[in-house]
Structure 1
């Protein structure tokens, strides 16, 4: 019975750590390695008669976040965020191509200001990974993005440059490549876990 309780506790700790690593934005490959390593440490501890708390402490979420910060691959995380921001800008441009029914869309200072401010806020929110909460993030957008974008758009009139359709589609490519790389890592990690 004690082993079953330890297994439940082990699974609960693993579940909490997995959720926090996902929240922190740990890549699929790194998360799979961390899960395998933690599971091994926890099983060894239980086999020696130690509790799961002896390994992860009383707060598994704090343990997971500390370990993620210490081990996280920042370049991967920043690359994913940068490609997502490029995709966001590309989607905005594609939407404008669709609305205007044109292979080229004009970009004004107001468009640049609004898109830039939204990208900055998205980058900040992504790097904090939900620490602001949904409503605080909405208030930040309303207070700090929309008024300056409107003001800049009113001050500078006229088209700055034209963006062709191929450039808008091209902005999506880094995200597609990154997603394929992540998916490949996920399949590699699951194949390694099964063997």
Structure 2
């Protein structure tokens, strides 16, 4: 009966350890620590007639159980150490990933700064070109306005000179008309004066 109990315990512990390994593999990805507590239920003993035989067999059984518990503790310690190593390795991998992520962020920020600088330079160049064109256009308009003002002044002067000449011609025409009228009236007046 003792060997059957021991086999059942061995089977249940091996199943437990395989489940523990599976869970450990799953939990390594999640970066969590699992604490395992192993308890062994000892079925209550029935009183038999031969307690001395039981005492000898129970001390042997206790030694077996003690050795078994030591093995389990050793196995659990190995598993725990393995988990800590994996977590430490994962921590190193995480720090490496963090460093890569930081480097990637810095490279992205540098690229954005570069693009922003190029855009600003393009904007400044375009703005300066537009200002230059505007100044040139403004200068051309001013020159054009000055030319038109000078032409207008010249035409105004020409018009005023022409007006003066016309006035002179008008005065001359009036003078000539008066002379012609006097000439026409002059002999008639002289005749009238003679006749009187």
Does TM, scored on the shorter chain, surpass 0.5? no
The TM-score with structure 2 as length reference comes to: 0.25
Q: Based on CA coordinates, which of the two structures has the bigger radius of gyration?
A: 2
The TM-score with structure 1 as length reference comes to: 0.25
Q: Which is richer in strand?
A: 1
Which structure is richer in relative contact order (CA contacts within 8 A, separation 6 or more)?
A: 1
Q: Which is richer in helix?
A: 2
